[in-house]
Amino acid sequence: MGRAFEYRKAAKMKRWAGMAKAFTKVGREINIAIKEGGPDPDYNPRLRLAINNAKAVNMPKANIEAAIKRATDKDTSNYDEVTFEGYGPHGIAVFVEATSDNNNRTVASMRHAFSKYGGSLGVNGSVDYMFERKGQFIIKAEDLEGDLEEMEFELIDSGLDSIEVDDDEINFYTAFEDFATLRDELEKREIKVSKAELVRLPTHTKKLTDDEVEDVLVLIEKLEEDDDVSNVFHTMDVSE
């Protein structure tokens, strides 16, 4: 019984840690969006997306309002978007997106993680060419009405590249430069988007053994644990 209690306690702490990380990430998204386009979501599309993403991770309304208020405070730290590129174990390319109010701290943290867990931090441009930047809109299947094939055809002129169905979610992909166009069209059609973000998809991947995969996952997990890190992309083949 004691062991079961400890297991449940550890699982609960992990969930809370994950939630706190998600709240930190969307809070910084809100900060950056407001610094760029102001605090009114009606006139700031990026802020609307940030608020929508906050709701998607179940961030309470009060927390969202507090994040907006903090971002409009002139004494609040300003966050900048920064990226890091390098290689993980077994030659896997790794691209890290982060938001930081102290670049020196973030650089030191990234260098330490790459070095300690079998990787090497590179310079800007060292692996960027191995990824294609795309816009991704995640929509729950239950929230999408109408014929999917017909919708795909209709949205091509708004920048839709492809649609992928994943269990109970549908992913709409668009080129980076068409992200805003497709976003506006989905809003116009009142299609409820669960989450919207810019992602980096590998142009090619590398298959590893199970043991090698574990080596890479250790690095990725350590990078994702850093509060400054928003996203980690890699070229490891994760297919079955």
At 82-104, the pLDDT tens digits run 999 999 999 999 999 999 999 99
Q: Which of 33, 52, 72 is the last residue of a domain?
A: 72
Give the range of the structural domain holding residue 93, as residue numbers without chain letter.
Answer: 79-240
CATH of the domain at 231: 3.30.70.980
Are 36 and 63 in the same domain?
yes
Q: Which of 72, 103, 131 is the last residue of a domain?
A: 72
CATH of the domain at 24: 1.10.10.200
Are 53 and 123 in the same domain?
no
Are 122 and 62 in the same domain?
no
pLDDT band of 18, cuts 50, 70, 90: low
Which residues, 6+ apart, have CB-to-CB distance to 58 below 8 Å?
19
What would the pLDDT profile of 174-216 be if each residue is shown by its tens digit?
A: 999 999 999 999 989 999 898 889 999 999 999 999 999 999 9
* DSSP line for 88-138: -GGG-EEEEEEEES-HHHHHHHHHHHHHHTT-EE--TTSSGGGEEEEEEEE
Predicted confidence at residue 235, as pLDDT, reads 98
Are 7 and 112 in the same domain?
no
Above 90 in pLDDT, residue 24? no
Please compute the mean of the pLDDT values over residues 144-157 and round it to a whole number.
Answer: 90
Are 94 and 176 in the same domain?
yes
Are 176 and 223 in the same domain?
yes
**Backbone φ and ψ of 52, nearest 5°:** -65, -40
Are 67 and 83 in the same domain?
no
Are 100 and 62 in the same domain?
no
Domain count, the chain: 2
Are 24 and 86 in the same domain?
no
Above 50 in pLDDT, residue 12? no
Are 33 and 96 in the same domain?
no
Are 96 and 49 in the same domain?
no
Are 212 and 111 in the same domain?
yes
